[in-house]
Amino acid sequence: MDIGVNKRHVVVSWSDLKLCMHAQFVPPHYRKELLLKLQQLDQGSRSVKEYFKDLEVTLTKINMHESEESNIARFVNGLR
Q: What is d(CA 22, CA 16) in angstroms, rounded to the nearest whole number?
A: 10
**CA-based torsion, 64, 65, 71, 77: positive or negative:** negative
Q: Residue 4: is its pLDDT beyond 60?
A: no
Provide the pLDDT confidence category of residue 55 given band limits of 50, 70 and 90.
very high
What is the tens place of the pLDDT at every residue in 10-54? 788 998 898 888 888 989 899 899 999 999 999 999 999 999 999
User: Residue 57 is inside which H or E element, if any?
Assistant: helix 48-62
Q: So what's the pLDDT on residue 29? A: 93
Q: So what's the pLDDT on residue 63? A: 81
Q: So what's the pLDDT on residue 11? A: 86
